[in-house]
């Protein structure tokens, strides 16, 4: 037993070092959880400890529910520059992304994500390996828990792999012959020692295949919801079958695989357009003010939120024991990060739209603090002339949950797919349900007899109104660029080359530009003898 324990501790250390950001990563505070990482994968308790650590890494502010929300917005055109364009006190992290200068940084978005995400993948892979090899057969709980453990590990690993493939690989090309370019190193086996480090990079084709297969399997393994009579309490903060379906739908949608995406969306939220088995929230602010476990968190009782980062101390804490309240969420709602003029034009809110009134913070002319807001306007043009910031997110001393997947996003996917297929009435049913619930009864509904181009325009605009600030915009523009043969780009937005807002004077960037891909970490390349093989 002692030997096995040491083996798994070494595996975690190797994985994080190999996927880390350089030689000094140990100098920085590291993630800690209440789960003992010296538990081995030879027991159910040990596997649950590893999964708790993996999930804590995923929801850390440097990974999914922090940097990754900022990244998609900064790469897109929703964000505007400020007079003092210093978004972060760490190497101007956000500024470089906004400029689309995706250099290999030590402690910026790419480096920190790789470090923490590498730990999540390593711990997930140990659980997957243990379940595949039935290493837990001496534990009497193994038979009843195996499917959950394996499904949970596959889901967590896929969360990270999907983000890695979006950051380091090219966007899925509709010409499939172009999907074999080298990209991220997506590890699907544990690192028990130096002999396990060699791994060649995955192409976009290989990466998506790995992620899709893992999630399709996870869907068959994961329970529908947390049951206190069957599952450990930490599973309540993790993903169930529907979370895996929602992520799988997002993956299929990113590669424009509409038939499979529609199939999965309908499995997750039901097949009737305009409704959802995860009913839309009527209070738009309630989506962003969820604290701790709610009655709909991983529960048989369903609400709009399908999967969320439950920031509930002491499940997630930093090295000193303090709660981790995602600082990037604070940054997104802070005046330092404004919404762009391009966003204002694209969203084109009606003044009575609840999302405009509640999800956007508008400052009086020349003002920049939260007690200097303007809330009433004679015209939309008047509102557009002022400074806007994201208002979706709030902060709390105990940490506010971060909504990571919700049914409105899946309804937007289905609406776009139906619009592309010419099923305008079905597309309108989903769009109008969102508008009635989130925008309110005064918002103009989408017509059911529009032309295909007009219907698509309505759907695209609704996605901007609904998803801004959630990390969607940049990735969606990449997807649409691939889908339309380059008609969509990552637009210039408010970037100004003369003010150093663009890297190498990049303005409108093509969806398949290498400028939009992070370079893989040299610390990995230096330790991995297969880095140059493909």
**How far, in Å, CA of 159 to CA of 71, rounded?**
15
- Give residue-wise pLDDT tens across range 46-98: 999 899 889 888 877 777 766 778 889 889 999 887 655 444 444 467 778 88
Sign of the C-alpha dihedral, residues 197, 31, 389, 96? Answer: negative
Contact 391, 359 (CB under 8 A): yes
Chain mean pLDDT for the chain: 84
> What integer pLDDT is reported at residue 402 of this predicted model?
83
* Confidence band for 30, pLDDT divided at 50, 70 and 90: very low
Compute CA distances 211 → 140, 250, 377, whole Å. 31, 11, 47
Q: What is the pLDDT of residues 2-29, one digit of tens each?
A: 334 334 433 444 444 344 433 332 233 3
The mean pLDDT of 103-117, rounded to a whole number, is 76
Note the pLDDT tens digit of each residue in 150-175: 999 999 999 999 999 999 999 999 99
DSSP track, 150-166: HHHHHHHHHHHHHHHHH
Topology of the domain comprising 2-77+93-326+398-527: 1.25.40
What per-residue confidence (pLDDT) applies to 328? 42
Stated as kind and residue range, the H or E segment containing 124 is helix 109-132
- pLDDT for residue 369: 79
36, two tokens = 């003992």
Which has the minimum average pLDDT: 178-187, 342-351, 496-505? 496-505
pLDDT at 504: 82
Q: Which region, left, alpha or beta, applies to residue 301 given φ > 0 means left and ψ of -120 to 50 means alpha?
A: beta
Tell which residue, 487, 488, 489, 514, has the closest CA to residue 503: 514
Mean pLDDT of 200-219: 96
Strand partners, 339: 79, 388
Going by pLDDT thresholds of 50, 70 and 90, the confidence category of residue 395 is low
Most confident of 34-38, 310-314, 463-467: 463-467
Q: Which residues face 309 on adjacent strands?
A: 402
Report pLDDT for 106.
Answer: 58
DSSP annotation string for 37-59? TT--TTSHHHHHHHHHHHHHHHT
CATH 1.25.40.390 in the chain is located at 2-77+93-326+398-527
Q: For the segment 297-352, what is each residue's pLDDT rounded down to a tens digit? A: 999 999 999 999 887 543 333 444 444 333 344 445 554 568 999 999 999 999 99
User: How many residues in the chain?
Assistant: 534
């Amino acid at each position: 037993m002692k030997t096995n324990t040491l083996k798994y501790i070494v595996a975690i250390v190797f994985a994080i070092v190999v996927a880390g950001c350089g030689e000094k990563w140990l100098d920085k505070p590291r993630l800690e959880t209440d789960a003992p990482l010296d538990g081995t994968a030879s027991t159910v308790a040990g596997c649950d400890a590893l999964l708790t650590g993996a999930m804590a890494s995923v929801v850390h502010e440097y990974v999914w529910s922090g940097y990754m929300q900022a990244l998609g917005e900064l790469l897109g055109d929703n964000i505007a520059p400020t007079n003092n364009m210093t978004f972060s006190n760490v190497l101007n992290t956000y500024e470089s992304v906004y400029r689309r200068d995706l250099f290999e940084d030590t402690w910026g978005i790419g480096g920190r994500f790789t470090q923490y995400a590498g730990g999540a993948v390593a711990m997930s892979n140990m659980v997957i390996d243990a379940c595949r090899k039935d290493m837990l057969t001496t534990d009497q709980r193994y038979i009843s828990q195996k499917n959950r453990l394996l499904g949970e590990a596959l889901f967590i690993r896929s969360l990270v792999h999907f983000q890695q493939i979006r950051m380091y690989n090219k966007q899925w090309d509709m010409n499939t012959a172009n999907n074999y370019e080298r990209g991220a190193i997506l590890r699907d086996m544990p690192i028990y020692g130096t002999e396990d480090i060699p791994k060649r990079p995955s192409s976009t084709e290989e990466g998506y295949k790995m992620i899709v297969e893992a999630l399709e399997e996870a869907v068959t393994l994961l329970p529908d919801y947390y049951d206190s009579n069957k599952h450990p309490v930490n599973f309540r903060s993790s993903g169930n079958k529907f979370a895996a379906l929602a992520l799988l739908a997002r993956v299929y949608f990113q590669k424009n695989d509409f038939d499979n995406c529609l199939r999965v969306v309908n499995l997750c939220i039901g097949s009737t357009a305009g409704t959802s088995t995860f009913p839309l929230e009527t209070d738009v602010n309630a989506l962003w003010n969820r604290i701790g476990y709610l009655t709909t968190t991983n529960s048989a009782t369903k609400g709009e939120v399908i999967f969320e980062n439950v920031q509930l101390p002491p499940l997630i804490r930093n090295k000193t024991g303090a709660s981790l309240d995602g600082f990037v969420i604070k940054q997104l709602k802070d005046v330092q990060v404004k919404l762009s003029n391009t966003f204002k034009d694209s969203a084109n809110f009606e003044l009575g739209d609840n999302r405009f009134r509640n999800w956007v913070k508008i400052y009086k002319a020349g003002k920049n603090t939260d007690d200097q807001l303007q809330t009433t306007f004679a015209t939309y043009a008047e509102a557009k002339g002022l400074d806007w910031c994201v208002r979706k997110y709030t902060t709390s001393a105990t940490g506010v949950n971060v909504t990571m997947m919700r049914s409105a996003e899946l309804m937007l996917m289905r609406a776009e797919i139906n619009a592309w297929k010419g099923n305008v009435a079905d597309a309108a049913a989903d769009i109008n349900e969102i508008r009635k619930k989130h925008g309110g009864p005064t918002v103009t509904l989408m017509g059911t007899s529009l032309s295909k181009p007009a219907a698509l325009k309505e759907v695209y605009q609704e996605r901007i109104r609904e998803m801004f600030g959630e990390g969607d915009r940049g990735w969606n523009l990449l997807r649409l660029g691939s889908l339309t043969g380059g008609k969509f780009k990552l637009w210039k937005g408010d970037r100004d080359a003369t003010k150093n807002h663009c890297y190498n004077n990049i303005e409108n960037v093509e969806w398949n530009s290498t400028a939009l891909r992070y370079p893989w970490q040299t610390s990995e390349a230096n330790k991995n003898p297969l880095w140059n093989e493909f």
